[in-house]
Structure 1
């Protein structure tokens, strides 16, 4: 069982010349959907309501086989206005509320019982919920595969030093970290991407994967501090909404496929050899490529992904 904790919201997508569309989204929720579609049992803890947008999120989770341990309880469902620019890139404006007060005790117990945990983005940087997520993951650091994606939103977090503090707190808890080049350039503008990846390994992560758009992902471990690169999967881009989340989901899936979960997960991640890391990157980058070839955060299922990989 993978437990994903973080925000769920609705992406209202504006693209010149096209009708405005609304899609269930939020980075952690996208990861939960992505992992479930790839065949692993997944549950999601978020903060959304029972309004029209909240019902859309509930239906989306259910349709992808994601279970929800806590009923929706927010007064309203958060939104992100996504403006699609040239090349399919998205700029976001958020109206978000993030609180887990109603489930603080249950969240710790849920984390303790999970063999794999994922969090990131707004849910791991915005108070009052972020510290509850950190507390829950702290209880499971040695008993679960923990993954983290900062997926920084400067318009929400605002202060870079605060964001650095949250990111480093979760990096120290996680065995697997994925981040984009944009994340790291904003968090550490005076340090190279590779230097940040190696600094995060020193904080406690065992595998740090950086995404670089069309350049493809690169992975760092203590055994391979020079980095292991794989090319991106080339497609005609519809938009980039959910691309990083799809890559993160496939990365988690690839680890779970290899039996990397539970109390021995950290040691197993640390022991990954170059060939296995390359396979994980190719698997993950292909999932991201499929996602950007279609509109919205719409990650592939296992059959779609394997058809491309084996084609």
Structure 2
């Protein structure tokens, strides 16, 4: 029997990162794959629910999973090819994506199969998904799984992480994303995600509060790039944290994924989380929120200092926090 605290479900693909000379450099990627590896590298028992291809890229993805200490729910590779994403970087290192995802390995999942794998995992407390898993075409797979996991009392985490370039029908995409967010206990969004979802308040914190009010989630994590991040609670309280140490940005690929991993690592360390039998029992205090935001920002900062998504291990995050915690204040 596999022991895991977190089960993740969603895309695993190859980022073809465009270099200055036009060449494409392949890197293991995909938001959920990045999150999965980042959790494993920080010592969290993690179960990845999607299959990987038997092609060369799929073997590389499987090797990355193994090196992070993550368990594969479906260790036998499939014959479908690996998903691809072409990544362009602007002058600030910010990434934009084009995707190739028809009839690919990581989309060969079902709600029944994912639920069965979760039930077989001992100690499972959290399930997480997002990004490309939220497209309307796949909602019949992921939405029933999320509903079932929430009914089981597990903490449901959904990272909106929208990719509008991949969808022909934006309204259907927005509807599908909102349906998934409606099943979440913890939502993660960026300021760009809020605009894509139609929350266009000038203040992104106000936009995030409006999104939170449209769901039944208890917490919402908002990332603002170099301006820091916030964690909002349903009762209206919230905290903002900003990095206090210099960050030398190579690129931002995987930054949000490492942020979410760091947030979950610190959450799983909280005594309140360890003692809660169901997600509905969980109550977080200000000290918990501060620890979670600090760990999340440190994880993201270490990621952006490397090229591509290079998640830090737990020791690296702890060393960074020893040098100084992010600045924290109440909203």
Cα contact 1:121–1:150 (8 A) shared by 2: yes
Aligned to 1:173: 183
Q: Deviations over 1:122-145 (max 9, x none)?
A: 012252x33211111111114211
Aligned to 2:210: 199
Aligned counterparts of 2:86 and 2:254: Cα–Cα separation in 1? 14
Aligned to 1:83: 88
- Deviation of 1:195 (Å): 3.7
Please, which runs of 5 or more residues in structure 1 have no aligned partner?
none
Aligned counterparts of 2:161 and 2:312: Cα–Cα separation in 1? 20
- Deviation of 1:161 (Å): 2.1
| Consecutive aligned runs of 4 or more in structure 1 exceeding 6 Å deviation | none
- Deviation of 1:121 (Å): 0.3
Aligned to 1:218: 230
Once the two structures are overlaid, the 10-residue window that deviates more, 4-13 or 171-180, is 171-180
Aligned counterparts of 2:174 and 2:83: Cα–Cα separation in 1? 24
Q: CA, structure 1 residues 164+112, in 2 after alignment: closer, same or farther (shift >3 Å)? A: farther
Aligned to 1:137: 146
Once the two structures are overlaid, the 10-residue window that deviates more, 117-126 or 181-190, is 181-190
Q: CA, structure 1 residues 28+111, in 2 after alignment: closer, same or farther (shift >3 Å)? A: same
Please, which runs of 5 or more residues in structure 2 have no aligned partner?
324-331
- Deviation of 1:94 (Å): 0.7
TM-score (norm 2): 0.86
Q: CA, structure 1 residues 100+214, in 2 after alignment: closer, same or farther (shift >3 Å)? A: closer
**Aligned equivalent of 1:301, options 288, 313, 319:** 313
Aligned to 2:246: 234
Aligned residues: CA RMSD: 2.0
Aligned counterparts of 2:208 and 2:199: Cα–Cα separation in 1? 13
**Aligned equivalent of 1:283, options 251, 273, 295:** 295
Q: CA, structure 1 residues 204+3, in 2 after alignment: closer, same or farther (shift >3 Å)? A: same
- Deviation of 1:170 (Å): 1.6
Aligned counterparts of 1:17 and 1:236: Cα–Cα separation in 2? 22
Cα contact 2:303–2:311 (8 A) shared by 1: yes
Aligned counterparts of 2:197 and 2:79: Cα–Cα separation in 1? 30
Find the residue that maps to 1:228 and give its secondary structure.
Answer: strand
Aligned counterparts of 1:124 and 1:293: Cα–Cα separation in 2? 29
Aligned to 1:147: 157
Aligned counterparts of 1:24 and 1:310: Cα–Cα separation in 2? 30
Find the residue that maps to 2:112 and give its secondary structure.
Answer: helix
Number of equivalenced pairs:
307
- Deviation of 1:256 (Å): 1.1
